[in-house]
Amino acid sequence: MTLLSYIATAVISANEAMHYAQSIFSDLNIITATIGVLAFFAILNLIGITESAVIALCIFIIHMLTLTVLSVACIYFVFKNPSLPKLNWSIPDSKGLFHALFFGFAVAMLGISGFESSANFIEEQQMGVCSDPAF
């Protein structure tokens, strides 16, 4: 079940990333691009990543940079238009507050699921896979 969870997380994350990429590259085919991203990581897996901790650190750094840029952009837009937070809270969801909170929580959990699987992947490495003798 854990392996199935990792695969589902990878597919959903790759698909959502390609939806975001389509906003930049409008003629991007989402399904083909998703398969391409998954194929790239499958090839990395097949050739063997000997420094999985370094890869996990790179993923973490990219994620933190993305969140930092997003946070700075949000702060900029709120200072530029201070009525934005009030406007966001005043627009009611047609299905109610519980529905909106549920889906917001689900999206947040999807965002952190990659880090969960990354840490578990590193913990499951066999002796000698990484070049550091401590592993």
- Residue 17: CB partners within 8 Å, gap ≥ 6? 37
Read off the tokens for 20: 């975001």
Do 37 and 89 sit in the same domain of this protein?
no
Do 41 and 76 sit in the same domain of this protein?
no
In a domain? residue 112: yes
The rounded Cα 29 to chain-centroid distance in angstroms is 19
Which segments in the chain show pLDDT lower than 70? 1-4, 49-53, 110-135
Domain extent for 43: 1-48
**Cβ(52)–Cβ(125) below 8 Å:** yes
Do 39 and 61 sit in the same domain of this protein?
no
In a domain? residue 104: yes
Give per-residue pLDDT as tens, 36-63: 999 988 887 777 765 666 777 788 888 8
In a domain? residue 135: no
**Cβ(56)–Cβ(120) below 8 Å:** no
Distance CA 13, CA 62 (A): 15
For residue 130, what pLDDT is reported? 55
